[in-house]
Each structure stands twice: as C-alpha cells, then as structure tokens.
Amino acid sequence: MITPTPLMRLVAGVWGFKTLAVGVELGLFTWLSRTGTATADEVAAEFGLAERPTDMLLAASASLGLLEKAGDGYRNSELAEQFLVEGRPYYFGAQVRYSDLRTYLPWHRIGEALRTDRPLTWDPQVQKSMFDTTDPAMLAQFWDAMYSTSRFTARALAEAYDFGAHRRLLDVGGGAGAFPIELCRRLPDLTATVLDLPHVCERADERIAEAGLGERIGSVAGDFLADPELPGGHDVVLLSMILHDWDEPTNRALLARCHAALPPGGAIVVCELLLDDDRTGPPEAALMGMNMLVETEGGRNYSGAEYATWLADAGFVDVRTVRFDAPGANGAVVGRRG
C-alpha cells in the first residue's frame, strides 16, 4: 500500500541538514575527535547546553550516521571522523557552513525564483555575477566551501580518468586550486595552471604555497567568460563544476575557446553532477539544478549527452563519459582535439 511516508522523509530532510549544520557550527565533531568518546553530560558541559537539547542533538546525530553510541557515550562515526573534523585532508564542514549561511534562507523563497527566473542570493541589477561582491567574508566562505567539496571530488576524478597521460593542466575557473593540488600530489610529472579572477588567484596561490607545490602549480589572472583566448601551452583543460553556472550559449562559446587553446591530441575534461539523459535524476544533479535557480541567472545542470553534443560541435572527438561518486560530481565527459 502506498503511504505518504516518503513525503514525510522529504519534509524532514531540512531537519537533518540543520542537525548536521549545528553540529559543525558548535565544533562537536572536531571536539569528539580529540576526546574520543563523551557522555551526554560531558557534551552538555563542554558546549554549555541543557540536558534536554543535548540528548536530542546526540540522538538525532546518531540517527543520521554522524555519531555512534559507545556504552554510555557517543563518538564520531567514520563518516564524521573523515569529513567533519577540522584539519582533516577532506574536511567538508566548510561546504556545510556555506550552505547554511548563504543558501539556506534564500531557498525558503524558491517560489519567487520560479516565478521571476532570477537568483535569490545576489542582485543582477547591481552585480555582474554571484562572484561580484563587496563582502569579503562571504567570498571567503564560498571559496572555502568549493575547496572543501573539490578536494575529494578531485581524488575521485583522478581514480576514474588517467591524467598520467598529460603533462600540463589548465584548470579553467580553478578557484583555490583544489584540483591541481590533488592531481599534482598524485602525479609527479604533472604541472598545472589555475585560471581565475585576480582575487581568486590570490587565494589559490596561498593554498598552493601551503601545499608546497609552488614550483609545479601557478596561477593566471583572467576572466574565462570575457577573455578572447585562454592561456596556451597545456595538453589538458579541466572544467570542473563550472559549466552548470552558465547557460548553453555561454558554455558553447567557452568550449570553443578551450578547443582553440589545445594542441592536436590535447584533451578536455568536463567534470559535473550529470543529469540522466531523460532528465529524471539522479537527485543530487537535479537538486543542484534547482540550486542554480537560487544562485545563478542562467545556470542549470545538464546531461552527459548534452555536454557530449556541445563537445562534438566544438570539434572534439572520441567523446566519452566516465562515472564516479563524489560530492561535487558524479562523472566527467572527456574528449580529444583531433
């Protein structure tokens, strides 16, 4: 018998997210990583909480797979220990914090976005894009969130696609450099360039220096939407979590410039949350598309078939899709300049 229980799970989805977000905000998972196991009384004392809300937070966090019961206490689950402890290589808390502080409240007005076809997190009448802002704290949160999501996504991509066949990577819209850092750590013969806006390159340079890869990864300040040409001298171009921000004509124009920047035999890698060709899922891609309604003017998530068509039209050959599982992408559409 069909029941409304699946609908109730959707209703409760926001409760789960906010439980995760408040745990990250408190620093619960980072603290538990240091202490190991803690009782509810110890948690309450550490964070200045009363008994009732402490019990509810711990029970809810355990139900979500974030904590595990250990005798009379709680400890981090493997998921929380790997991804919600500050300082860990693939810390995901920055993405949680950005979503909580930047996009959660605008999502409450999703009906407005549907009716107006306008973003809710910034004003196109006074800003060129969501990246054009005078709020440095918001920008810092955004780039930390993208770095948080990109590190593990880069690892998954590296296991699905052989970058060992390439020697010099151009990361278009590379943000803080998560993909080049991860890839160059794995491949000692690979060098890379991050192309992004000047203030973003400053952040990338900091991350690259922290990683000790300054001799192999550099940055070039530019605007990949406006510059007539992309930097040359690379044999692979990466567009990761970039094309879903823009409409089809913008993306086709960018892919044409990528083709022009590559030598014969050079490769392009489009790494994204890909929709199924019939546009019925998967949920992570379809819901990210809804998030583009909240955050962009023309962005949406596209299918692998759409990207393949655009790449072929731009002149790429041997176009194929590789699949993997990561927070920022579920696959990559790759092609070669003939």
Instruction: Please give the pLDDT value at position 175.
Output: 94
Helical (H) or strand (E) element with 38: strand 38-39
Phi and psi torsions of 171, nearest 5°: -100, 100
Tokens of 284: 């992570």
How far is Cα 246 from Cα 242, in angstroms, rounded to an integer? 8
Instruction: Please give the pLDDT value at position 134.
Output: 58
Per-residue pLDDT reduced to its tens digit, 203-213? 999 999 999 99
Residue 98 burial (CB < 10 Å; 0-12/13-18/19+)? buried
Residues of the chain with pLDDT under 70: 130-134
CATH of domain 150-337: 3.40.50.150
Instruction: Please give the pLDDT value at position 11.
Output: 96
299 touches 247 (CB < 8 A): yes
How far is Cα 291 from Cα 281, in angstroms, rounded to an integer? 14
Instruction: Please give the pLDDT value at position 123.
Output: 87
CA dihedral 144, 141, 287, 109 (to 10 degrees): 180
Tokens of 59: 């029970």
Tokens of 34: 């240091």
Q: Could you tell me where the beta strands, DSSP code E, fall in the chain? A: 38-39, 67-70, 73-76, 168-172, 191-196, 217-221, 236-240, 267-272, 316-323, 331-337
298 touches 271 (CB < 8 A): no
Tokens of 303: 């299918």
Domain 5-83 bears CATH identifier 1.10.10.10: yes
Per-residue pLDDT reduced to its tens digit, 217-231? 999 999 999 999 999
305 touches 285 (CB < 8 A): no
Catalytic sites, residue numbers? 244
Closest CA to 307 of 263, 248, 235: 248
What are the extents of the domains in the chain?
A: 5-83, 150-337
121 touches 106 (CB < 8 A): yes
Helix (H, G, I), strand (E, B) or coil at 145: helix
Residue 306 corresponds to which amino acid? Answer: E
